[in-house]
Structures are given as C-alpha cells and as structure tokens.
Structure 1
C-alpha cells in the first residue's frame, strides 16, 4: 500500500516538474497537454510554453497587452483562458496562428475596441467570451473571420451601437448574450444572418423601441429575453414575424403603458400557439398613473370595457340614424313620383327633380369616419368630431 502511494506521489511530482520548455510559475502537465499559469503574477505572456499544449490557462494575472503573433510556438492550442487580467490592447493578428483554437476567454478585462485584425486566424473558434469589458461599439468588421462561432458572450460592456452586418459571418451562431449593455433601440438588419441563433439575451439594456422586422431572420429562435429594458409598448407584428415552432419570450421589468392598445397586442400574442409569454403574469404597469404598480393580468379584463361599450353604442346609433334617413328619403321619393304622375308641367317637373337631388344630396353627404376613439361626422358644411372614449 505504501509502495502504491509512493508511486502516485512520484508520478504527480513528475507531472508538475518544470522542464526546460515550461515557464517558471506555470504547471505543465504534458500527459494532459495542459499548461496552467493562473495566479502567477505575470505582466506579460510567458515565452516558454510546451508546443504540445492544447489548454493554456493564463487567468488571474496582470497581463495588459496581447502582441501580434504571440502564440506562434503553441499552434495546437484548443482552449486559451485570459480572463481576469488587465488586457486593454489586442493587436491585429494576435491569434492569427491559432487555427485549431475552439474557446477564447477574454472576459473581465479592460478592452475598449477590437479591430478587424482581432479575428484573423480564428476560423475554428466556437466560443468567445468578452463579457465585463469596456466595449462601446460593435464594428461591422470586428468578427468577420469567426465562421464557426457558436457562442458569443458580450454581457456587461457599455455597447451602445451595433453596426449593420456586425454578425454577418456568424451563420452558425447559437447563443448571443448582450445583456447589461446600453442599447436603446433594435434596428432591422441587426441580426440578419443569424439563421441558427437559438438564444438571444438582451435583458438589462435601455431598449425603448424595436423595428417590426428586427427578429424576422431568426428562424431557429427558442428564447428571446428583453426583460428589464425601457419598453412601454410593443407592436404585434414585431413578434408575429418570429416563425419558429416554439419561442419563449421574457418581457418583465419594462415600464409598460397599460392602455387598450397594449391589451389588444398581448391578447393577440397569447393566442399564437408557437409563442410562450413565460413571465406574462409578472408584467407590471407603470402608466397610466391610476394603474401604476398593478399587474397587467389584473387589469386586462376590465380596462377597455367602457370604451368597447361606448363604441358599440355609437356604432348602433349611427346605423339607426342612417337607416331612418334612408327610409325618409324613400318616402319623399314616392311622394314626388305620385305628384309627377298627375301631369305637372315640364318646368314643375324639373324643379321637382332639382329638389329631389338636393334632398338626396342632403342625405348622402352625411358621411362619418370611425376610428378607435373618435367619430367624425360631415353634415352640410360642417365637420363634427365626437370623442367616444370619454365615459
């Protein structure tokens, strides 16, 4: 038993021994092809890393710059961990020789911009972590060479602008995390090439508007999270354009304006079987003032009853008025017809026709235009506008 324990200790010691190809402060495990250099207080990238290394962990150091062609001796890397450093500059072509790299973690750094040269050589990359940096804009060329990317995490930056075609090369992307940034609007074309995207997380931004066709290209979307933004209302067609079989929507934490329009939108959305409003029962009204703090589910059945009843009453009244006018016109026409049959003179007949035309005109020029909250009646030479939403 003691011999077995001794052999295990010797094996572990040999695995942790620092050969000539391993930087001091690193743990080079040749049997696993791992090189662990975390918490080694490095201010620059180590120069001696075994060329067979497939996982290089440089997290929790003080590295500030990733120079060009730094990894030319470690071309077999598949996982590169650089989180929790002080990186502010990534030079063009820094990863250009890492043709096998599948995961790159640059989260929790100080990166403010990424140029087109950032993604050169990363054609095999599947996961990119850029959360908790200082990015403000996504350029249309930054991710141009990420043809195989499946997961992109940009959480907790300061992104205000996403240029058109920023994700144009990411036809295989499945997850896009943009929560906790500073986006204010969503424009059509922003996600135009993301046909494989399943998860889109936009929670915790400042989004107050979304164009109708912005989600239309997302043919595989299963989760759309727009919680905790600044939406007061939404357009029914914005979500109707999502044609996946099953899509879950998260919308709570927005300052909803619980007017009748919003009620109609949500009533329609809930009737679409392929859309699931997972947090509908948690949606809270911020306006109008008398409904502030109310749950939307508690007001949707009674908010618009008075308006609906008023609209019905006005509509029925208008129909009855028109029918009565038509009946009176028909009676006058019959009376004139009887008078014409008694043998009036041509002059009298012409006068009667003129009078009839005038009467018919008086009846027919009473037109009305009906909208949600107003009724416009044209009678004679006057327009009358009636507000039918007031109790």
Structure 2
C-alpha cells in the first residue's frame, strides 16, 4: 500500500496494512443507523401518525370534515389528536359508547342534521376538552343525568330542533363552563327548578353559569317558580312560541321580568275566550285571569 508523506510517496509495509479495510469493503451500517433515527423521530411525532378516516376530508391534521357523505355511522379510525370534527348532514342513526372514545383533545364536535334518537350514557365522557357541541336537528328525546357528564369545558350546547321531552334535573351539573344553551324547537312541557344549575353545594345552594338560554318553540305553559333565581348571570332568555297559560301561576315571572333588563316582553297565550288575544304584554297579566281567581 502507498502512503504520502510531504512530497514523497512511499510504500507501506505489509505488516502495517493488516488493520486497514479497503474503501470498497467499508461497512454500510452508518446509513441504516441514520434511517433508524429518522424513523424513531417520525414515530414519536404525533402529526406524522394522523390518518384521515374514509370517506372524510382532512385539510389540516387537526380537523376531520365528513359533511354530506351519506354516513350511516361515525367513521372508525379517527385520530386521538383531532381537535375538530364535523359530521353534519349525514344519515347517522345511532351512537355507541365508543364512538368518540379517547378523543380527549377534541374541542369542536358537530353532528347536526342526522337521525340520532339517543346518546348513550358515557358516550361523551372522554371529551374533556370539548367546548362546542352541536347536535341540532336530530331526534333526541331525553337528556339524562349522565348524557353530558365529562364535558367539563363545554361552553356552547346546541340541541335545538330535536324531540326532547325530558331533561334530568342534574343534566348540567358540573358543567361550570357552560354559557349558552339552545333548546328551541323541542317538545318540552315542563322543567325542574334546578334544571340549568351547573354548580351545587350540599343540594342546598345551586347556581347556573348559563348566560344565554333559548327555550322558544316548545310546549311549555308555565315555568317553575325559582328556576331563574338560580341564574344570576342570565343575560338573554328566549321564550316565544310557547302556549303560556298567562295566569296567576306566572305572576312570579311578571315580577322577575319587571326587575330584569329585558324590554317589550310578551306572553304568547293560549286562553279561552274572551281573554285570548294572541301576544299579551306581561304587564297585563294581573288584569286578565287573576281577577277570575279572586
């Protein structure tokens, strides 16, 4: 073997060449080691493992868009790192207890415009980061005491235009981030005084954090006395389109309305002639049917 020293080229003794490997016989482990490092890094990077469930579209890794896909069920294979899901306007007829299992980072869930009649207890329990839940235009009939449990960060709830007939008195218990509730266009006939309480202490002290409540277009004739006393933060209350009795049982509401900041409040009444006259200002209620009970 030849070796260079300054400007002179010499031949290396054979006994000095025994430990030198020719270039064509050099080991090729280095490239494989580098590839292994890259694979390990990719495996540990959450965005690299995100998959988009068929037939949805995922324009960004944190979102899943499945609107108008004629889906009959919630698609499988949704990544645990997804933050926003839109399943609106499909043909989903049922949810299972595991439909949204493990989606602890989900912040927005839209599943409006489907045919879902119920939400299994515990189906939403993993959605601890959820802030907006849009379930409008389905066929939901009951909100149990466990339906919404686990949604500790929920701020906006849209369950309008369903077929809700009953809401458990503790349905919203623990949801202290809740600010807006859409319940218009359902089949509610009555409510419990504690229905919208999100915080309670020893079953004696109850408080609601709801600021905007939509109860229009239901079947309620009266509201329970005391329900609004637990809602000191309430800013907007929508009650139009209900067959209010507008009698003395609603007198407490007249007093509450006088103290509130609302203006031009009216009672959409269903009353026998000669009292029935459509929309009646609350200020006229004592003159109407309270005289008949004297």
Root-mean-square deviation (CA, aligned residues, Å) is 3.0
Counterpart in the other structure of 2:151: 146
Note if contact 2:191-2:224 (Cα within 8 Å) is conserved in structure 1: yes
CA shift for structure 1 position 164: 2.0
Contact 1:58 1:81 survives alignment (8 Å): yes
TM-score (norm 2): 0.70
Report the Cα offset of residue 190 of structure 1.
1.1
Task: Measure, in 2, the Cα distance between the counterparts of 1:303 and 1:160.
Answer: 32
1:21 Cα deviation from its structure 2 partner: 6.0
Structure 1 segment 169-318 matched on structure 2, within 5 A: 169-193=174-198, 195-233=208-246, 234-237=249-252, 239=253, 265=254, 268=255, 271-272=258-259, 274-280=260-266, 283=267, 287=271, 289-293=273-277, 296=280, 300=284
Give aligned pairs, total: 232
Partner SS for 1:235: helix
Gapped regions of structure 2 (runs ≥ 5): 1-49, 199-206
Question: What are the Cα deviations for residues 193-241 of structure 1, in whole angstroms up to 9, with x where unaligned?
Answer: 262211110100000122212222212100111111121125333x4xx
How far 1:270 moved relative to its partner? 6.0
- Matches of 1:113 and 1:298, distance apart in 2: 37
Note the C-alpha offset of 1:141.
0.7
> Secondary structure of 1:277's partner?
coil
User: Take 1:176 and 1:301, find their aligned partners in 2: how far apart are those partners?
Assistant: 28
User: Rg: which structure is higher?
Assistant: 1
Q: Please report the TM-score for the alignment, with normalisation by the length of structure 1.
A: 0.53
Shift in Å, 1:287? 3.9
Matches within 5 A, 1:1-391: 28-29=58-59, 33=60, 53-66=61-74, 70-71=76-77, 74-193=79-198, 195-233=208-246, 234-237=249-252, 239=253, 265=254, 268=255, 271-272=258-259, 274-280=260-266, 283=267, 287=271, 289-293=273-277, 296=280, 300=284, 373=294
Give distance in 1, aligned partners of 2:128 and 2:283. 52
Unaligned runs of 5+ in 1: 1-19, 34-52, 240-264, 308-371, 374-391
Task: Find the aligned partners of 1:91 and 1:291 in 2 and give their Cα distance.
Answer: 50
For 1:211, what is the secondary structure of its paired residue? Answer: coil
How far is the alpha carbon of 1:62 from its aligned partner? Answer: 1.5
Task: State the 1:22 CA deviation.
Answer: 6.0
The DSSP-based 3-state class of the residue aligned with 1:236 is helix
* Distance in 2 between residues matched to 1:183 and 1:82, nearest whole Å: 26
